[in-house]
Amino acid sequence: MVGLVLPRVDVTRAHLIRLARSGAPTAKEPHVTSTTQTAPAPAANLATGKAHTTEAPGLGRSILIFGTVSFITVFVLVAAGLRVTGSELSTAIGLGMFAAIWGGGGFGAMIGGVMHATRLEQQELVAAEAKTASTTV
């Protein structure tokens, strides 16, 4: 089987970033000479090489954020509540950590997953409604 042999092009991330910042045309963007100013291409993310987007955070990020916030909130509320009622500091911290580990993180992770799924469903519903509206007009 004969395959197509393409020349090897070695492009570094730094070169891609310089191209993006300079506004030079790329393969996807033809060179146009005009008097109007065009917006520069968004700077690429150094880790992935992809342009920054405004997409919603992923499922893992939502779970991590909600789990962490819930863990901290449960710990602070339980520990502070026990201290206000007169418990010793070590007892308040210990019971606060117990409640945060077994209740806070898991509950927050569950809510984070539900919020992410709900956000995606709403986006899909809006897109479907827009598509239906555009086809019926």
The tens digit of pLDDT for each residue in 31-79 reads: 445 455 555 555 555 566 665 555 556 888 888 888 999 999 999 999 9
Angle at alpha carbon of residue 90, lines to 84 and 92, rounded to 5° = 35
Residue 84 reports pLDDT greater than 90: yes
pLDDT for res 88: 94
Residue 15 reports pLDDT greater than 60: no
Residue 27 reports pLDDT greater than 60: no
> Whole-angstrom Cα distance, residue 77 to residue 71?
10
pLDDT for res 47: 60
What pTM did the predictor assign? 0.51
Return the residue matching tokens 């009622």. 85
Q: What are the residue boundaries of the structural domains of the chain, listed by start? A: 1-53, 59-136
> Whole-angstrom Cα distance, residue 40 to residue 28?
14
Overall average pLDDT of the 92-111 stretch: 90
What is the percent of the chain with per-residue pLDDT over 70, rounded to a whole number? 58
Residue 124 φ then ψ, to 5°: -65, -40
- The type of residue at 4 is L
- The helix (H) or strand (E) run that includes residue 78 is helix 59-84
Q: How far is CA 133 from CA 73, 92, 113, 119, 129, in A?
A: 44, 57, 30, 21, 6
If one compares 35 and 112, the residue with the highest pLDDT of the two is: 112
What's the pLDDT band for 1 if we cut at 50, 70, 90? very low
In terms of Cβ atoms closer than 10 Å to its own Cβ (0-12, 13-18, 19+), residue 17 is middle
Overall average pLDDT of the 89-106 stretch: 91
